Each structure stands twice: as structure tokens, then as C-alpha cells.
Amino acid sequence: MIGVAILLHKELLESWRTRRIPVVVGLFLFVGILSPLTARYLPEILKAALGDQATSIPIPTPTATDAVIQLQKNLGQFGALTAIVLAMGLVATEKDRGTAGFILTKPASRAAFLMAKLAGLGTVLGLGSALAVAVAWAYTAILFEPLPPAGWLAFAILSWLSLMAWATITLLASTALRSAAAAAGIGIGALLVLSLLAAIPPVGRWLPSGLDGPALALATGKPFEPADLASAIAGTLAIIVGCVALAWLSFRRQEL
């Protein structure tokens, strides 16, 4: 693919100059700090807020597992929305402004154009996910107990893989359409629909949400069913590869 390295450098430089990287890093760091703090102090906050009524409500003692669960929820919500926002205008905005056509008059293929967009997007989300998980691990070790670093590394990779599914769905919409807002709508709609389908066990185990259980088990050092992890990874990769392939097929037929 001609020009992919140069286009990737352009993407990362543009992400830095437009402050997308600092904003994403700041958001994910906030999530990484907030999650274990919430798990640790929320019961105390509830007791203080409820006063005497707290004695009649059983509030369990927080554990390190609660911190991981809180991190997983926050990454699943804020992270997914961040992935959609980052991807929604990657191609649609450049087509609307005419810059995509200008770039492709240079010795760069359309496949390289899309691959650079995907690689830049994956790099930003990967950096954010890694920082969030690293900070959360440190705070969890301080507030609760140290958990297996290797398990948290696996947790970070699986979290990133899940975010890339939402990012590539939105990237496909951004490639097929000329409206970033419409692409974002499709990304959010896909997030809602697949979240509902995840409630069906035979279906959910093949969706990005199927990564949650094994990721939680890996981070906390608990056993899990390898077949569940394998099916979730296979299904998520199928979504990512399928969306990228469809985006390329759509983009190569478009008049810019």
C-alpha cells in the first residue's frame, strides 16, 4: 500500500495539533483514576449521605474486584463514545472538504488512506486504554491490593479490542456517508443494538461485550472458560475486519 507510512504520520501529527491525543489521554486518565476511587469510597459516601438509614441497607465492603468492574463499566461507556467521536469524521469530513480527493492525487492508494486512518485511530485508543489501565492498577494496588500485572495487561488489550469494534463500525459509516453526524448516529445506534443483543447468551458470547467476563477474570486472577474468550475474540475481530473490508469496498467505488 503506497504512502501508508506518510499518511499515518500525518494522522498522528494532526491528532496532536488538534489536541485529540491530549484530550483522549486526559479523559482516559480520569477514568483510570476515578474507577478505583469510586469503588473504594462510594460505600462511605452512601453511608454519610443516608445517615441512620444506612444501617438498614446492606452495603458490602468494597474489594479490588469492584475496582476492576468499575473500570470496565467506565471504559465501556466513556471509551465507546470516545471511539465513536474519534471515528465519525475521519473520512466523511475529508470527503466533504475535498481534502480526500487532493490527498489521493498524490502517490497514495485508497487502501493506504483507510489503513492510515485505522492505524491512527487504533494508536490513539490504544494509548488511552493503556494509560487508563496502568493508572487504575496502581490506584487499585494502593487502595485495595496488588493484582496480577499480566492479567491487567490482558485486560487492557481486550478493552482496546472492544473499543476498536465500535470505532470501525463508525469508520465504515464515515466512509460510506458524507456526514460525520450521520456516522456518529450509526455508531451509537450500533452500540445500542449490539448491547441489547448481548443480553441473549448464545449471541452475546460472540459480541464485544463477551470480552467483559474473561477480561474481568484475567485482571482479578480468577478462572474463566477459554472457549468464551475465544468466541468473543473471534466475533469482535470479525466485526472489525468486516467493517474495514466494507469500508474499503465502498471507498474504492466513490467519486471524490
Predicted confidence at residue 8, as pLDDT, reads 83
**CA dist 208 to 64, 79, 168, 230, 235, Å?**
24, 13, 12, 12, 7
What's the confidence (pLDDT) of residue 240?
A: 97
Assess contact for 208 and 162: CB atoms under 8 A: yes
* Residue whose entry in the numeric block shows the C-alpha cell 474481568: 216
Task: Render each residue's pLDDT in the chain as its tens digit; 256 residues.
Answer: 566 788 888 888 888 888 889 999 999 999 999 999 998 887 777 666 656 565 556 667 889 999 999 999 999 999 999 999 999 988 888 777 777 666 766 667 788 888 999 999 999 999 999 999 999 999 999 999 999 999 999 999 999 999 999 999 999 999 998 889 999 999 999 999 998 998 888 898 999 999 999 999 999 999 989 999 999 999 999 999 999 999 999 988 877 6
Spell out the domain ranges in the chain. 4-252
Looking from the CA of 232 toward its CB, the CA atoms found within 13 Å total 22
Is the Cβ–Cβ distance between 115 and 4 less than 8 Å?
A: yes
Count the Cβ atoms, other than its own, within 10 Å of residue 2: 12
Q: What pLDDT is recorded for position 106?
A: 67
18 burial level (CB within 10 Å; 0-12, 13-18, 19+): exposed
Q: Report which residue type is found at 69.
A: I
User: Which of 160, 157, 162, 137 lies closest to 149 in space, CA to CA?
Assistant: 137
Distance CA 214, CA 222 (A): 9
Predicted local distance difference test score (pLDDT) of residue 61: 81
Q: What is the pLDDT of residue 5?
A: 82
Distance between CA 239 and CA 232 in Å, rounded?
11
Tell me which DSSP letter residue 54 carries: G
**Distance of alpha carbon 136 from alpha carbon 74, whole angstroms:** 11
pLDDT given at position 11: 84
The C-alpha cell at 40 is 473504594
User: Among 139, 168, 137, 161, which Cα is nearest to 214's?
Assistant: 161
Q: Residue 211, exposed/middle/buried by CB under 10 A (0-12, 13-18, 19+)?
A: buried
**DSSP H helices in 75-220:** 80-88, 92-97, 99-103, 110-143, 149-176, 180-197, 201-204, 212-220
pTM, entire model: 0.90
Phi, psi of 221 (to 5 degrees): 75, 25
pLDDT for res 216: 95
Q: What is the pLDDT of residue 2?
A: 60
User: So what's the pLDDT on residue 72?
Assistant: 95
